[in-house]
Chain A
Amino acid sequence: AAGVIQSPRHLIKEKRETATLKCYPIPRHDTVYWYQQGPGQDPQFLISFYEKMQSDKGSIPDRFSAQQFSDYHSELNMSSLELGDSALYFCASSLRDQWGPLETQYFGPGTRLLVL
């Protein structure tokens, strides 16, 4: 079965540079979530999109922005990178259940970002 695809899998950037992370959800999934997992930490919710509209926002820095496109893929844009942005960034996708909130989030393999 098709899974969530994230690219790139690894990324090395310098401080103050920009980075773009991409997420391709499972086909027919309409919702995308972004999470950040620091070293030895639990994943923290950043932002989510449903049907190309932002649906929820968590602890996402103002330096970051994201969007979901017409083909449902999503991009997380990160500017003015800081050392503390080094983390594993996960994308998850789900299908909103028409009959209730019975959605399961399926996670991609993550993008490991290292800021030097």
Chain B
Amino acid sequence: AQSVTQLGSHVSVSEGALVLLRCNYSSSVPPYLFWYVQYPNQGLQLLLKYTSAATLVKGINGFEAEFKKSETSFHLTKPSAHMSDAAEYFCAVTGNQGGKLIFGQGTELSVKP
């Protein structure tokens, strides 16, 4: 069975500050991990994905995430927050055969001016 836990349903940062959104996974098989972003009233947009090629994954809009097997984590970071980063962020996992995504509960990111 697979699951994802996102720590913190709401995160608030100041513009220009570091963004850190936490995700821990549980998987009985080597996982594929994803971060998606959802802007209000919009669909899910892929930010980045981990597929075992490299543990540090760079995505769009300056985001990156590091896969740490020892910690079963896949935290999302961005060095400097921008107002346009305000959105809901979902971490998701799927097994090494692909297939359905199992999502975390989501983290709402607010960016203060």
Is B113 located at the chain interface by the 8 A CB criterion?
Answer: no
Which chain A positions have C-beta within 8 A of B102?
A: 45
B81-99 toward A: CB 8 Å interface, digit per residue (1/0)? 0000000001000111111
Contacts of B99 in A (CB 8 A): 48, 55-56, 101
Contact A109–B43 (Cβ < 8 Å): yes
Q: Are B103 and A42 within 8 A (Cβ)?
A: yes
- In the assembled complex, the CB of A35 is this many whole angstroms from the nearest CB of chain B, namely 8
Interface of B: prevailing SS: strand
When distances are taken between beta carbons in the complex, the residues of chain B under 8 Å from A106 are: 46
Query: How many residue pairs between the two chains, A and B, have CB atoms under 8 Å in the bound complex?
Result: 57
Q: Is the CB of B98 within 8 A of A101?
A: yes
Q: A48-B100, A101-B32 are in contact. Are A42 and B44 (CB under 8 A)?
A: no
Interface residues in A, total, Cβ within 8 A: 27
Binary contact track B48-83/A, C-beta < 8 Å → 1, others 0: 010100000000000000000000000000000000
Q: How far is the CA of A109 from the CA of B40 in the complex (A)?
A: 11
For residue A96, CB closer than 8 A to chain B, the reply is yes
Cα A109 to Cα B45 with chains together (Å): 9
> Is there contact, CB below 8 Å, between B98 and A96?
yes
- Which residues on A are within 8 Å of B, measured CB to CB? 4, 33, 35, 41-45, 48, 55-56, 58, 90, 92, 94, 96-97, 101-110
